[in-house]
């Protein structure tokens, strides 16, 4: 090496690795699925929540491009209808239905419609979510809405649709769009309470009550102002915790659905789309919506039945 040349620093090396992986993902997306890999058909029903824009829209588009029937849902009817029309004009089989995962009545109405029209579904992509922080901001002003939407709403949606997951030899799929910010043992953004982390980490002892109680404790501390000294993540706190809960619930449900009998198999996994250029990130992300949607679509269509209760980013398994 010439003495005037500089070795790439850690940040530059990470950027190079990221760009190389993005190129690889882009290449993989150009490779069509073989007949052997295609377990789905035009009659396969996929539901994508929060799909009127951003990552959700792109997930719906990619799934429909692969030949599935996609139910695009949105809290906003006008936005959802416009998004659906745009995809339909491209020749894709996409149907719209209004859905607000914060409202039990809306979830019940949606499930009743699905049951009447299709009898059930084969794929659920839980994408709907919100965040009120961008950049270095870390306000918890809307913490209750963030937790209720990203975790409790997602959980309620999953529970409501579980009975409608159609039995088949191939099994049904549930994909949770989550975030690395919700990792239990991330180096910079984790819960300080080691005992609590260990409880949430032990999948054999993990319970829904424990996850709920953790979120409710945080919200109580937000209300009384003690959350800063409570040992919670200090970066995108409410969003990070909501996704931590989604990740934990995915691991829990992975264990639960693994106990189902043959022909009733369901495979549930979560994924991080990366920091995507969408309205949620203030268009400041590093990744395109096409790239951000890729792993969720890949998991939804994955033939490998050993993949269950796991966490992925860029088509690779990562630690919770």
The pair phi, psi for residue 265, each rounded to 5°, is -65, 140
Instruction: Please provide the distance, in angstroms rounded to a whole number, between the alpha carbons at the two ends of the chain.
Output: 40
Max CA-CA distance within the chain? 72
DSSP state of 121: B
316: β partners: 313
**Helix residue spans in the chain (DSSP H):** 10-29, 54-65, 77-88, 104-118, 143-147, 154-161, 194-201, 208-224, 237-257, 289-301
Both tokens assigned to 308 = 């269950």
CA 73 to chain CA mean position, Å = 15
Q: In what order do the strands lie in the sheet with 316-318?
A: 94-98, 69-74, 45-48, 123-126, 172-177, 266-272, 311-313, 316-318
Element of type H or E holding 177: strand 172-177
239 in active site? yes
SS3 content of the chain, % helix, strand, coil (to 5): 45, 15, 40
Q: Catalytic residue, from 118, 151, 239, 267: name it.
A: 239
Which residue in 62, 80, 60 sits closest to 70, CA to CA? 60
231 and 254 Cβ atoms separated by less than 8 Å: no
Q: Give catalytic residue positions.
A: 239
């Amino acid at each position: 090496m010439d003495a005037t040349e500089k070795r790439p620093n850690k940040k530059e090396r990470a950027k190079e690795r990221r760009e190389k992986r993005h190129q690889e993902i882009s290449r993989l997306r150009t490779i069509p699925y073989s007949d052997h890999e295609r377990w789905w058909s035009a009659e396969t029903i996929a539901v994508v929540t929060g799909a009127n824009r951003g990552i959700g829209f792109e997930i719906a588009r990619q799934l429909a491009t692969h030949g599935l029937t996609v139910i695009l849902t949105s809290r906003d009817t006008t936005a959802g209808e416009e998004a659906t029309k745009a995809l339909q004009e491209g020749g894709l089989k996409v149907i719209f239905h209004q859905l607000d995962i914060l409202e039990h009545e809306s979830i019940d109405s949606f499930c009743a419609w699905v049951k009447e029209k299709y009898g059930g579904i084969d794929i659920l992509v839980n994408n709907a979510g919100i965040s009120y922080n961008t950049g270095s901001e870390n306000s918890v002003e809307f913490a209750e809405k963030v937790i209720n939407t990203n975790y409790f709403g997602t959980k309620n949606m999953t529970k409501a649709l579980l009975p409608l997951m159609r039995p088949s030899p191939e099994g049904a799929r549930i994909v949770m769009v989550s975030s690395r910010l919700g990792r239990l043992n991330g180096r910079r953004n984790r819960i300080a309470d080691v005992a609590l982390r260990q409880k949430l980490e032990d999948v054999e002892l993990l319970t829904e009550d424990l996850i709920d109680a953790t979120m409710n404790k945080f919200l109580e501390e937000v209300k009384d102002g003690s959350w800063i000294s409570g040992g919670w993540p200090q970066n995108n706190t409410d969003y990070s915790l909501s996704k931590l809960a989604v990740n934990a619930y995915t691991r829990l449900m992975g264990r639960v659905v693994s106990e189902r009998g043959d022909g009733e198999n369901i495979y549930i996994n979560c994924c991080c789309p990366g920091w995507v250029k969408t309205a949620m990130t203030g268009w400041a992300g590093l990744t395109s919506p096409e790239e951000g949607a890729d792993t969720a679509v890949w998991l939804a269509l994955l033939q490998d039945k050993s993949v269950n209760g796991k966490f992925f980013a860029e088509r690779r398994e990562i630690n919770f």
